[in-house]
């Protein structure tokens, strides 16, 4: 595992403490920021025949699904749904350092199970992961948060990384696609499918920023209005923490269009947008 791969998992359990603001797990002593090396088991068992995770419909986990959270000063927004999710990026893996400890969802991490960590997918979500170098595929259950390294998309368990032949390299380029458990374990239908249609008279927006200063919100609104993304609105919201001005794109006609706009926003350096259905 590369030095960076080892280090980026180092603060996972400190992060877990941030995620669980409503209360701490009983195993709080495992949530620490000490940067010790992570590695494969000293005497690993053969994982070549470890079966894929079996997708099944489950309620959202009690922990790890807050609307937003901050790590190292960066805000992440949990997606309201995994429907139609598909993205390519760099996968890393984690091993013995976290084996047996609680994940962000509350489940214990098992390096021999087919699981993974992701920053924004709902917990749990089942995804198909494809190694773009060799076309190997696995299905894993996302039950943890991370990786919080800037260029990483997903953290795989030891077994999942082994089956994809990522272990020797530390990281690998992958594509991940969310799976709809109601469709016999098949990858989720494209965002254009009927399952992504908005219910009733619901309206879909993408929130791209929230500011305590209306002037800053209006500045972002003006910048985005030149990018042909659609209508840009500012919504004022008052909370116990004060008044905030939320910048939102929309309404958008479908989740497919929301995915398209999300990709456009990423090219503009805005990578933390999230969907809001009203």
**The pLDDT of residue 151:** 82
**The pLDDT of residue 207:** 86
Q: What is the per-residue burial (b if ≥16 Cβ within 10 Å, else e) of 94-112?
A: bbebbbebbbbbebebebb
**The pLDDT of residue 145:** 94
Q: What domains sit in the chain, N to C, each tagged with a CATH number?
A: 3-183 (2.40.40.10), 194-277 (3.30.70.1070)
Q: How far apart are CA 164 and CA 174, in angstroms?
A: 9
Instruction: For residue range 255-266, list pLDDT tens digits in order.
Output: 777 778 888 888
**The pLDDT of residue 270:** 84
**The pLDDT of residue 48:** 87
Spans in the chain with pLDDT lower than 70: 1-40, 183-202, 240-241, 278
**pTM beyond 0.75:** no
Q: How far apart are CA 15 and CA 266, in angstroms?
A: 24
Instruction: For residue range 30-50, list pLDDT tens digits in order.
Output: 222 233 346 667 777 788 888
């Amino acid at each position: 595992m590369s030095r960076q791969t080892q280090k980026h998992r180092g603060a996972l359990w400190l992060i877990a403490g941030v995620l669980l603001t409503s209360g701490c797990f009983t195993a709080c002593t495992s949530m620490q920021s000490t940067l010790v090396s992570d590695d494969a088991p000293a005497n690993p068992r053969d994982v070549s025949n470890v079966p894929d995770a079996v997708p099944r419909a489950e309620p959202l986990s009690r922990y790890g699904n807050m609307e937003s959270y901050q790590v190292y000063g960066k805000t992440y927004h949990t997606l309201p749904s995994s429907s139609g999710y598909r993205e390519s990026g760099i996968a890393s893996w984690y091993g013995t350092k976290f084996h047996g400890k609680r994940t962000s969802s509350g489940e214990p991490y098992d390096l021999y199970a087919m699981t993974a960590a992701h920053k924004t997918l709902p917990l749990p979500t089942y995804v198909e992961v494809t190694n773009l170098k060799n076309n190997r595929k696995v299905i894993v259950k996302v039950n943890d948060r991370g990786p919080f390294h800037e260029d990483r998309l997903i953290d795989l368990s030891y077994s999942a990384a082994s089956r994809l032949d990522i272990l020797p390299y530390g990281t690998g380029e992958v594509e991940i696609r969310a799976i709809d458990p109601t469709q016999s374990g098949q990858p989720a239908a494209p965002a254009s499918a009927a399952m992504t249609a908005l219910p009733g008279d619901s309206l879909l927006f993408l929130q791209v920023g929230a500011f305590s200063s209306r002037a800053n919100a209006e500045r972002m609104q003006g910048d985005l209005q030149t990018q042909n993304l659609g209508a840009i609105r500012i919504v004022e919201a008052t909370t116990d923490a004060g008044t905030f001005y939320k910048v939102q794109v929309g309404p958008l006609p479908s989740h497919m269009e929301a995915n398209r706009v999300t990709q456009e926003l990423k090219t503009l350096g805005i990578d933390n947008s999230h969907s809001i259905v009203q």
